[in-house]
Amino acid sequence: MSESFADLFEESLKRSEMRTGEVITAEVVRVEHNHVVVNAGLKSEAYVPIEEFKNDKGELEVQAGDFVSVAIGSVENGYGDTILSRDTAKRLASWMSLEKALESGDFVTGTTSGKVKGGLTVLVNGIRAFLPGSLIDTRPIKDLTPYENKTLEFKVIKLDRKRNNVVLSRRAVV
């Protein structure tokens, strides 16, 4: 054994500093019927619901040996288990990419998913955003139907993470 007790103790102190909401990388150990077992270097392996690893078609996206990003739900849930979530990690990454697009002025790709009062809802990396009717095109649009269920490019013009609010513009792209 090449590691000393002091080295192992220092490493365990670093691990205990992990906080709820922090995104970490974990290795997929095995895939079970209802869960994916991951090792994030914590006290024990964690069980993440298998639904969080399936794509829109219901296909499993990971296998044993893959590395995935997961968010810490809680380090200790009272039963000695660590709660990890891949969905939360994906959502945080999506918010960060939207914030980056807002700051840099880059365009984002999204799919219009339906009509709402005053515009359309758009899904951008799993985050629901609002596209005002006045910002769909350079000229006013009366009928929004041709724009439904279309994948288009948008510019993020307003973002409020606390209120879960994203406003997009297609006019800035056109």
- pLDDT per residue as tens digits for the range 127-150: 999 999 999 988 888 888 888 899
pTM: 0.74
> Alpha-carbon torsion 58, 63, 66, 68, what sign?
positive
Interacting residues of 3 by C-beta distance below 8 A, sequence separation 6+: none
Compare 173 and 157 and report the one with higher pLDDT. 157
Query: Do 5-90 and 105-169 show the same overall fold?
Result: yes
Amino acid at site 129: A
pLDDT at residue 85 tops 70: yes
* Domain definitions of the chain by residue range: 5-90, 105-169
Average pLDDT over residues 92-119: 92
Cβ-based neighbour number of residue 105 at 10 Å: 10
> Which CATH code fits 105-169?
2.40.50.140
Q: Hey, what are 22's tokens?
A: 């922090």
| C-alpha 45 chain-centroid distance | 22
CATH architecture of 5-90: Beta Barrel (2.40)
**Average pLDDT over the chain, rounded to whole?**
87
- Residue 66: phi and psi, rounded to 5, are -75, 155
